[in-house]
Each structure stands twice: as C-alpha cells, then as structure tokens.
Chains A and B, each alone.
Chain A
Amino acid sequence: MLTEDHVREALRQVIDPDIGVNIVDLGLVEAIRIAPEGIYVDLIMTTPACPQSTYLSDESERVVRGAANGDARVSVTVLDSPFWEPARMSAAAKTIMGWPG
C-alpha cells in the first residue's frame, strides 16, 4: 500500500536543474493526497513565469507513477498560490545553498 511518505520519497528524485536540489527539500511540494481513485500531488512554483513548471510537474508525475508501479491514476497540479518563499526550504537544502547553520 503506497503511503504519502512513499510518494514524498519518490518525489526526491525530481531535481530542479537550476539548483541541483530535489523539489521536496526545496519546498515545492505543497500537498500529497492518496485517494481510492488516484494519487494527487500539488506543487507550487517560485513564480507564475517559472519556465520549469511543466518540466517539474511532468517529472513528478513520472516518478510517482513509477513508485505506484503504474497501478494508480496520478495527477500532478501546479497551484496558482501560494508562491514559494525561502522559509519553505529544508535545512539540508539551505546547507547546500550556503545558508549559515
């Protein structure tokens, strides 16, 4: 049985190529919901002009589908809000980007 943690772990494979850090640690994953009809992932972007939104959502869909062995319907949505802010980054991501510990 796939759990939210499994999905979150799968999403760590999706790397933002401009930053080199996965979207979970960057704080781009807003919500994960597992329902009988499918797996739902909500992403947020840093801006509505983000050129990578489709790339990141397609990659997310691919890895979650892989984690679900193709058995479940997977839906990834890029939300209009909220927008990303630095406080959403994990401690690991901040360390990589040079934030003081």
Chain B
Amino acid sequence: MISVTLRRLPLLMAGALSLMTGIIAGEGRIGWPVGNADLALLHGPLMICGFFGTVIGLERAVALGKAWGFGAPLFTALGGAALIAGHPQAGALALSAGSLVFTAMSLAVILRQREVFTAILGLGGLAWAAGNLVWIFGGDAAPSVPFWAAFLVLTIAGERLELSRFLPPWRWRTPTLFPPLALLLAGLGLGSWPLFGLGLALLTLWSLINDVVRRTIRQAGLTRYVAICLLSGYAWALGAGLLMTGLVPGETGAFYDAALHALFVGFVFSMVYGHAPVILPAILRVAVPYRLVFYLPLAVLHASLGLRVAGDLLDIHAVRQWGGLGNAAAIALFIVTLLATVVSARKR
C-alpha cells in the first residue's frame, strides 16, 4: 500500500509546479527576460487557483477526512497543469471544478458546525468559485481578481475568527465583524475596489483587535514565529486595503500592482510562511521542527516587497523589478529552508 506521503506528494508537487510557473510568469510580467506573453497572462490564475487553491484544498481535504474532498486539489492540480501546457479553457474548467468541490467541502463543514466562522469560510469558497465562473464566461482574468482576493481573505478571516474563541468573550466581537465584511462583499458585488479596500482595511483592524496573536506574540519558538508572520501579514493587508481605496475601475498600473502584491505576497504569503511548519507535517506526515532560520526568508519577503511597493509608488521601474525578483528569491529561500529542515529532521 502506498504511504500517505506518497499519495499526497503528487498533489503538492502539482501545486508547486503552478507556483514556480506562476512566479516565472510574474517575473516576465515585470520585464525580466523569462517566459512569454501568453504565460505572463496566467500569473494570477496560476498563483491563486493553481497554487493557493491546491494547497488550501489539500489542507481542507486532510482536515475533513473525506475522500471526495481530495477532488478539489486534484482538479486544481490538473487545471494548473493544463494552463501550463497551453490549454487555457480546459485549465479554467478544471480549476472551476476544483473550486466547486472546495465549496462543497465548506458546505459540509457548515452543516456539521453552524457558526459564523464556518459561514465565512463558506463565503470564501463561494467567492473563489464565482471568480472562476467570471473568468470562464468573460475570458479575462482581471475581473476575477477581487473574487480571488476575497477567497483568500475570507478563508483566513474565518480561521482567525474561529481561534478568537480562545480569548476572553466579548459581546461585540462578532457584531463588529459584520460591517467590514459587508463592505468587502459590497465592493465585490459592485466591482468597486475602494469599497473592497475599505472593507479589507477595517477587517484587518478588527483582526488586530480580536486575533489571538495579541497573546501569542509573548510566547516563544514556533508560536512566536507564527504570531510574527501573522502580524507582519496584517500590516501588509492594512496597506493593501488603504491602497485599494485609491483604485479606479479598470486600473492596472503601478498603484494596482502595489495594492495587489501587498495583499497576495505580503498578507497571504506571510500566512503561508507561518503555517507551513504545521500544515506540511499534516499533509505529508513529515516532521518540520521549528528553526530560528525560518525568520530569514520571512525577512527577505518583507524587505523585497517593501522595495517592490516603493518602486510602484515612486514609479521607478528598476526598483519594482528588483523587488519582484526579491519576492521570488524569498519564496525559493523559504522552500529550500523547509526542505533542508525536513531532511535534517529525518537524519536524526
């Protein structure tokens, strides 16, 4: 019988393939001589649906423990591969199928536990599926970006709201969450970046007040590392939200680049960095013991993103380019650090 590690590894590797190709596409987009024009257009779909979709889908399927749930990462893995192989329609269809299975998983969670946080997780899945449908019917990925952003933001918000129950009860905790959520969803429905951004900024402020990181930052080791990843991610999310309030419909320039990468690289990748030492053992059944060196790729990520956003806001293309290359280096460094940690732990 094939071990759990070997059964799940191909899905994770497929997610990694989307990540690597998505990064190359992104570097080509900012002017580095890699990839081609067709690949550059796939940067967003590969990063969000192919990579994050596969990894989050795999994580959710493992947690739920239902065989059908693995259909989500399987479809998104195939979808990412189809995009890379030059079959955009087949890729978009497979990615959409993956997001629908993911939404079904969210529904299964809601049916088992009817809470506000499970509903928010469900909204995240719906936003992803809706974004994919917009992409399929419109043929252009740009209008789907706010939906894909909502997928990741709502998924993280739902998970953090769940953990906030460890804090002393506060009667206004959930009621104060609704206005930022309503703004975010209104921005989504009306196609308004400013509303979406305002919702995101307020949601981040809500999180800073209600997240357990206020307590866990005082602890040591892995817990502190996770807390620092989260807090630094919240700082980028707040920045992203504020930048989005200045975006006009259809804007795709430097300001847009800064807002989107503050969110997807600064916020989302910080969350990935923080949770990889826990999620990787859960998915692959390999030990990833905490090491102080985990802070190094995190520091490179934030420094390079700072450079990129500064390049965007000052409209200095070379600075943006080097910042973007630094982002890629930070992700590569993180993967190498994790792999080295896994290998050294196995040798012991």
The interface of chain A, by Cβ under 8 A from chain B, is 15, 17-20, 26, 46-55, 58, 78, 80, 83-86, 89, 93-94, 96-100
Contact = CB atoms under 8 A, between A and B. Distances in A.
B109 A48 contact: yes
Interface string B236-272: 0000000000000000000000000000000000000
Contacts of A19: 163, 166, 212, 216, 223
Please classify the interface of chain B as helix (H, G, I), strand (E, B), loop, or mixed, using the class held by over half of its residues: helix
Given A19-B223, A83-B113, A98-B215, A51 B159 contact: yes
A48 to B, nearest CB: 5
A54 B222 contact: no
Given A86-B166, A97-B212, A49 B121 contact: yes
Nearest to B60: A49
B231 to A, nearest CB: 13
Given A15-B223, A19-B223, A49-B64, 11 more contacts: A17-B223, A17-B226, A18-B223, A20-B220, A46-B162, A49-B158, A53-B62, A83-B113, A86-B165, A89-B166, A100-B168
A95 B167 CA distance: 10
B217 to A, nearest CB: 10
A20 B112 contact: no
A18 B118 contact: no
Please classify the interface of chain A as helix (H, G, I), strand (E, B), loop, or mixed, using the class held by over half of its residues: loop
Interface string B130-149: 00000000000000000000
A20 B216 contact: yes
Contact of B59 (A51, A83, A94): A51
A51 B69 CA distance: 14
A20 B168 CA distance: 16
A47 B109 contact: yes
B282 interface: yes
Contacts of A83: 113
A96 B218 CA distance: 10
Contacts, number: 102
B279 interface: yes
30 contacts: A15-B222, A17-B222, A18-B163, A19-B223, A20-B215, A20-B216, A46-B162, A47-B109, A47-B115, A47-B118, A48-B63, A49-B118, A49-B159, A51-B59, A51-B159, A51-B275, A51-B282, A52-B282, A53-B62, A53-B282, A54-B282, A54-B283, A55-B279, A55-B282, A78-B65, A86-B166, A94-B168, A97-B167, A98-B214, A98-B215
Which size bracket describes the interface of B in this complex?
Answer: 35 or more
B7 interface: no
Given A18-B223, A98-B215, A47 B162 contact: yes
Contact of B168 (A46, A51, A99): A99
A51 B63 contact: yes
Interface of B: 59-60, 62-65, 106, 108-109, 112-113, 115, 117-118, 121, 158-159, 162-163, 165-169, 212, 214-216, 219-220, 222-224, 226, 275, 277-279, 281-283, 285
Contacts of A54: 62-63, 281-283, 285
A52 B112 contact: no
B168 A98 contact: yes
A97 B166 contact: yes
A55 B278 contact: yes
Q: Which of the listed residues A15, A49, A78 has the most CB atoms from chain B within 10 Å of its own CB?
A: A49
B165 A46 contact: yes
Contacts of B212: 18-19, 97
A97 B168 contact: yes
A50 to B, nearest CB: 6
7 closest A-B pairs (Cβ-Cβ)?
Answer: A20-B223, A20-B219, A54-B282, A55-B282, A99-B168, A17-B222, A49-B109
Nearest to B277: A17
B215 A96 contact: yes
Contacts of A52: 278, 282
B278 A47 contact: no
Nearest to A57: B282
